[in-house]
Structure 1
Amino acid sequence: MGGEEVRQAPRPIVSESWQRSLAAQIDPENRTPPVVYRPDDLPGIRESHPLNAVMPLLRDTLVSIADAAMHVMLVTDAEGHILWRDGATRLLVDADRVGLFPGTHWSEDAIGTNAMGTTLAVDAPVQIHSAEHLVRAYHAWTCVAAPVHDPDTGAILGAIDISGPLHTAHPALVQLVSATAQLAENQLRVRLAIADERLRVRNMPHLASLRGAAGALVTPTGRILAGEPYGWWPERITLEEGSDRVMLANGREMLVEPLAEGYLLRTPGPGSSSTPVERPSTALSLRFMGDGAPSVLLNGRPIPLTLRPAEILTALALHPEGLTAEQLALLLYGDDGNQTTVRGEIHRLRALIGADVLRTRPYRLAATVDSDFGAVRQALKAGRAEAALRACSGSLLPRSDAPEIREVRDEIVAGLRRAVLDADDPVLLHTFAGHPLGLTDLEVHDRLVELLPAGDPRRPVVVSRWARLLAE
């Protein structure tokens, strides 16, 4: 570049980067990169960037090393803007002089060959040493960078970089920065798995509402989270913007219905040749079994609830066709029920979950409802005792005296108990014997003592409990 001959050609990754940089009309005599973001802009930009979640990890892993070795750690976004900087305080003044500070743009077409810009250009770890930098101002620096990818889409989120004076170069820096980028991706992958599970739980009522027909829950980016039948679905589908249909690799066409978050795929039914059937976009999850407080999730958001509104929601979930104030008063309070009291309770409940979810005339839930008591009843009806027991964590609203609740509570206990006894399965009986509903059931323990062989390790505990029940 200076017009003199060199004994050795630059590395291919460097010469190719020089060519891209010169094609972008970067001047090797250029002093500093462009400043894109003001200091006041950075806090909001950082907070909304995906890499913000892994900054504690990056600081724990790299900053102490960078500080001791007279380096700075830099983290960019996918376009090459530096968003974060940490490291040796004595070096920050020198870094400021050459534009290595947050808000500056370090892509190849902004400042030429450099580790951050080149790693984003080639999507691989890169070390740029001394005169390998296109711009002469950085010949006194050595830099190592590696890209970080989105575990959902695979797209580059940004780059992690360690930069320092020429004399601080160390061959292990490439491995260190690459390993740290992989650690960041792994942490992002764990966070994605947690978010996926929450999204799946929040939206399973939509899938369950298909009642066994083929369907799938899809993330906003097109990944399949859950589907029926199992094994039918690809890992990901491509969703065309504005399209209400998608063709699977097996040749089946599916309707695409937008949900509050993500999409529901379902098979076209009769009369579905044009527009998908309107479906509730609200998912309401009720967990009312067991000794804990009633738990409600509205599109994944917890709703604080006391016993009385939980009783109303139970009654409405059991009667999806809707109930009048008179019917609801009878179910909750018996013959002494007061419609005025019911209307007041409904008014307070609508303030909690929204008037668009709890409709009137008649009172009904305009949502896809997923309830633990509903799952138990459905499994019992289908003859699946194991699934029913797995879904049941205890009695339905055990503190409730509402006639409707008492009736369903007794129905579930009796039905579950009979299903377990009829199955005559030692594993199922043992599980039920340790369940809150079966701990004091003498008949269950009688049957279990008969079925468990003498050498079974479970037998001593069961026999002890059985003897205590007999004594009582």
Structure 2
Amino acid sequence: MGHSAKDVGQLTAHDVERAARLLSEVRSATLAGQRAPVPPRPVIEASWERVLRSGVDPEHGVRADVLGRDEIERRRQDSPLRQVLPVLREGLLSVADVARHIMVVADADGRVLWREGCSSVLRRADDLGFEPGADWGEGAVGTNGVGTAVVTRRPVQVFASEHFLRPHASWTCTGAPITDPRDGRLLGVVDISGPLETMHPATLAWVEAVAKLAEARLREAHLASLERLRAVAAPLLARLVGRALAVDTDGWTAAVTGMPYTGRVALPASLTPGSCVLPSLGPCTVEPLPGGWLIRRAEAPTPAGATHIVLDVTHPRRWSVTVSGEMGSWSHELSPRHAELLYLLAVNRSGRTASALAADMFDDPARTVTVRAEMSRIRRYLGAFLEHRPYRFRESAEVELRSPEDPRDLLPHSLAPGVTRARRAPRLTTGPSLALPLVPLVPRGDVPDATESGQDT
């Protein structure tokens, strides 16, 4: 054949048909448990294995009801992606008709919310059920540019028979995740799709660049909202005696008085006016502000007591830490990076040095600056329960780790060596699995969430 599955991203249009035939052979052999002519790309192989374990039918997928019009509209109105639709349209639809593409925007569940572009391709998409309200997650339709990007939280191009479902083999799609710049939460995926002949190796970089532009626009909108809150809060704080700060509904600080500035305060999922205990501030009183909260810190110390910490990484896309003690309980949703770091600390209760964590995260013990910066962010909401030199949970805290029953489902987005080793832990095989051995994923480089490079304090 002359090409391996790894070469797909470098193919010219002249090679598309030959590559499609090769990938069809690879898919058929792999799903039959036979030796494939060449191995699939690691991102595709990992996805196929997840889909096989989930029981998706490679011929028809898993039937999922299409959302009704009212539910689609509700999700559209609730989605922050609605704010950046003009950016996505300008960046992607300007050439969609010429290139015979359609643009699809899906939410974090893989549900299609918006779909626009070349009319003839839209009709072909209808035949595949690729329509508003459809479930395009891996658990419904297998490997694809939307669902696989949702799981891996990385841009991915899926070509021809790299799709898990046979009816999708005449299709090519390229998706990139869009995350909330405020907290790293996955908002959804923007995808460019079309017939096989529309495949171009530059599409992946193009879609990723537009997704990053959309995230930048969301960041600008957030900064503007903080400025509006600051204008309201500053006169109030100037008249107060004691320690207080104004934060938006996500905990980002707009103004502060009587205490050191901190960029963000961890807030409970359902904060209400009155007295409460906040993870990083202790006892506080909370009052509503337009677009946020006025938080006054109480002078009484927080009583010490037994603490129970639950780190939950069972879900493939959402992870949390919950702290319970004498002053009540609170939960915090974790970013992908923080979920990885806290998992590594939970399974290494004796602690990890910065260099050991750097090796666990990036296979590079020298990358301690990045580790220290991330641990500094974690300590903003969990600092009372962590030690450093080495980093570890306090001995007095009872730590409960909730992880998937099958180790292969652990933090599927993660490329951290410490996590990928855990995925290969001995397990019982209870369902279909790939005949090919898993290929370890190699980190392609860390992209820090911010420029902070804090040191241990």
Choose from 228, 234, 238 the match for 2:266: 238
Is 1:116 aligned to 2:134, yes or no?
A: no
Residue 263 of structure 1: CA displacement? 2.5
Choose from 102, 119, 134 the match for 2:132: 102
Map 1:136-151 → 2, pairs under 5 A: 136-151=166-181
Deviates more, 1:114-123 or 1:39-48: 39-48
Aligned position for 1:259: 288
Q: TM-score, normalised by structure 2?
A: 0.55
SS in 2 for 1:188: helix
Aligned position for 1:186: 216
Is 1:165 aligned to 2:192, yes or no?
A: no
> Residues 32 and 137 (structure 1 numbering): CA distance in 2 closer, same or farther, change over 3 Å?
farther
| Aligned length, in residue pairs | 268
Is 1:88 aligned to 2:118, yes or no?
A: yes
Deviates more, 1:42-51 or 1:58-67: 42-51
Q: Which runs of 4+ in 1 moved over 4 A?
A: 269-273
Aligned position for 1:224: 253
Residue 244 of structure 1 aligns with an amino acid whose one-letter code is C
- Contact residue 119 and residue 159 of structure 1 kept, 8 A: yes
- Flag the structure with higher strand content: 2
Residue 132 of structure 1: CA displacement? 0.8
Map 1:196-235 → 2, pairs under 5 A: 196-211=226-241, 213-229=242-258, 232-235=260-263
Residue 239 of structure 1 aligns with an amino acid whose one-letter code is L
Aligned position for 1:268: 298
Residue 17 of structure 1: CA displacement? 0.7
- Contact residue 151 and residue 185 of structure 1 kept, 8 A: yes
Aligned position for 1:71: 101
Matches of 2:98 and 2:110, distance apart in 1: 26
Task: Note the residue ranges of structure 2 that are not aligned, 5 or more in a row.
Answer: 1-30, 304-457
Matches of 2:252 and 2:70, distance apart in 1: 36
Task: Note the residue ranges of structure 1 that are not aligned, 5 or more in a row.
Answer: 274-472
Matches of 1:138 and 1:49, distance apart in 2: 28
Q: CA RMSD in A?
A: 2.4
SS in 2 for 1:85: strand
Residue 210 of structure 2 aligns with an amino acid whose one-letter code is T
Matches of 1:171 and 1:31, distance apart in 2: 27
- Contact residue 246 and residue 256 of structure 1 kept, 8 A: no
Map 1:61-460 → 2, pairs under 5 A: 61-211=91-241, 213-229=242-258, 232-240=260-268, 244-246=276-278, 248=280, 253=282, 255-260=284-289, 261-269=291-299
Residue 266 of structure 1: CA displacement? 2.5
Q: TM-score, normalised by structure 1?
A: 0.53
SS in 2 for 1:134: coil
Deviates more, 1:196-205 or 1:6-15: 196-205
SS in 2 for 1:96: helix
Aligned position for 1:14: 44
Residue 124 of structure 1 aligns with an amino acid whose one-letter code is R
Q: 1:233-272, CA deviations, whole angstroms, 9 ceiling, x for partnerless residues?
A: 3222222456712353xxx645141314432232325899
- Contact residue 33 and residue 99 of structure 1 kept, 8 A: no
Matches of 1:91 and 1:175, distance apart in 2: 22
Matches of 1:206 and 1:167, distance apart in 2: 61
Matches of 2:176 and 2:301, distance apart in 1: 53
Q: 1:43-93, CA deviations, whole angstroms, 9 ceiling, x for partnerless residues?
A: 343233111111111111111222111111100011100000011111111
SS in 2 for 1:259: strand
By relative contact order (CA 8 Å, sep 6+), the higher-ranking structure is 2
SS in 2 for 1:244: strand
Residue 200 of structure 1: CA displacement? 2.1
SS in 2 for 1:37: coil
Residue 36 of structure 1 aligns with an amino acid whose one-letter code is V
Matches of 2:149 and 2:186, distance apart in 1: 10
Residue 181 of structure 1: CA displacement? 0.2
> Residues 270 and 181 (structure 1 numbering): CA distance in 2 closer, same or farther, change over 3 Å?
closer
Matches of 2:201 and 2:302, distance apart in 1: 63
Residue 20 of structure 1: CA displacement? 1.1
Aligned position for 2:397: none
Matches of 2:300 and 2:135, distance apart in 1: 55
- Flag the structure with higher helix content: 1
Residue 129 of structure 1: CA displacement? 0.8
Residue 40 of structure 1: CA displacement? 4.4
Map 1:22-33 → 2, pairs under 5 A: 22-30=52-60
> Residues 24 and 206 (structure 1 numbering): CA distance in 2 closer, same or farther, change over 3 Å?
farther
- Contact residue 145 and residue 174 of structure 2 kept, 8 A: yes
Aligned position for 2:82: 52
Residue 155 of structure 2 aligns with an amino acid whose one-letter code is P
Percent identity for Structure 1 against Structure 2: 37
SS in 2 for 1:115: coil
Residue 88 of structure 2 aligns with an amino acid whose one-letter code is L
